[in-house]
Amino acid sequence: MAKADIKPKSIHGAKKWSADVENLYRFQQAGYRDEVEYKQVKQVDTVERWPETGFVKKLQRRDNTFNYYDKQRECEDKEVHKVKIYVY
């Protein structure tokens, strides 16, 4: 399967916070499903991350502006249920 053909097979909502949910939250705030779609659309191999936490540090939105994120958790408990988890 070509890289550009990657589509999710299913989707479900996050139930509790985790580091993976935090990173998905950041990708979805920037207008992408997840890291797979971000790399596909922006044609990059890596995503800039905080070395201490592994959380996403900076993402380029679809309108070519940037979202910058803190080292600490940004996805509050009340936002967790809004995060969509895609299964490939």
pLDDT recorded at residue 32: 97
Strand, coil or helix: what is 27?
helix
pLDDT recorded at residue 5: 66
Unique residue bearing structure tokens 């916070």 = 17
pLDDT recorded at residue 60: 97
In whole angstroms, give the CA distance from residue 65 to residue 70: 17
**pLDDT in single tens digits along all 88 residues of the chain:** 445 668 899 999 999 999 999 999 999 999 999 999 999 999 999 999 999 999 999 999 999 999 999 999 999 999 999 999 999 9
